């Protein structure tokens, strides 16, 4: 019986040693990776103020202007994105609000664009880019027919979207 137990113990030790002996000096592992779509747009200031308060005698009121900057990051590829702008409600009669957005490198600006409650393209043909400090210049024009307009505000929404 002792002999059988010794034989079984010897076989078990050989099995353990054989498993260790079969392990190699190298092995492999699969590394899974992914880069998801990155589409970020951020406006630097929370608000701008446009006050029309002067005119040259014999002319319409002077234009008011103010601005801020924005940054954009996207990895969407060549000419894949654009930025649109819209205000929450239409401007009162006699007032025109415009936005001129500087385009990031490789993209195209639409120039001074009249804003309304319908989204309009302000920057197009945006490639994969990471850039900040880009200008957003707002202007307000008033005709005499606008009269005196009490202080009010509009929410302007810029959207980075597919071309």
Dist. CA 28–CA 125, nearest whole Å:
43
In a domain, 116, yes or no: yes
Residue 146: φ, ψ to 5°: -65, -30
- For the chain, the domain total comes to 1
Dist. CA 71–CA 120, nearest whole Å:
19
- Residue 158 confidence (pLDDT) above 80: yes
In a domain, 13, yes or no: no
Dist. CA 20–CA 76, nearest whole Å:
50
Q: Which domain holds residue 120?
A: 39-162
Dist. CA 2–CA 23, nearest whole Å:
32
Select from 122, 110, 109 the least CA-distant residue to 157: 122
pLDDT in tens, 66-123: 999 999 999 999 999 999 999 999 999 999 999 999 999 999 999 999 999 999 999 9
- The CATH number assigned to the domain holding 55 equals 2.60.40
Select from 18, 23, 154 the least CA-distant residue to 99: 154
* Burial per residue of 10-46, b for 16 or more beta-carbon CB atoms within 10 angstroms, e otherwise: eeeeeeeeeeeeeeeeeeeeeeeeeeeeebeeeeeee
Q: Which two tokens stand for residue 159?
A: 């959207």
Is 47 strand, coil or helix? coil
pLDDT in tens, 9-64: 555 555 555 555 556 899 999 999 999 999 999 999 999 999 999 999 999 999 99
In a domain, 112, yes or no: yes
pLDDT in tens, 129-154: 999 999 999 999 999 999 999 999 99
In a domain, 75, yes or no: yes
In a domain, 109, yes or no: yes
> Model-level pTM?
0.82
- pLDDT, residue 24, reads 87
- pLDDT, residue 69, reads 98
Q: Which residue has the tokens 């639409």?
A: 110
In a domain, 96, yes or no: yes
In a domain, 82, yes or no: yes
């Amino acid at each position: 019986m002792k002999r059988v137990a010794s034989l079984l113990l010897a076989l078990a030790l050989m099995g353990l040693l054989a498993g260790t002996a079969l392990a190699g000096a190298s092995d492999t592992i699969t590394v899974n990776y992914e880069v998801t779509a990155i589409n970020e747009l951020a406006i630097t200031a929370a608000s701008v103020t446009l006050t029309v308060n002067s005119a040259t005698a014999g002319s319409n009121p002077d234009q008011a202007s103010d601005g801020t900057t924005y940054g954009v990051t996207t990895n969407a590829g060549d000419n894949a994105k654009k930025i649109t702008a819209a205000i929450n409600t239409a401007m009162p009669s006699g007032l025109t609000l415009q936005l001129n957005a500087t385009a990031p490198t490789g993209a195209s600006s639409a120039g001074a664009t009249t804003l309304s409650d319908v989204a309009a393209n302000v920057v197009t043909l945006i490639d994969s880019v990471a850039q900040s400090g880009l200008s957003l210049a707002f202007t307000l024009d008033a005709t005499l027919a606008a009269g005196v307009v009490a202080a009010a505000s509009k929410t302007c929404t810029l959207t980075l979207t597919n071309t």
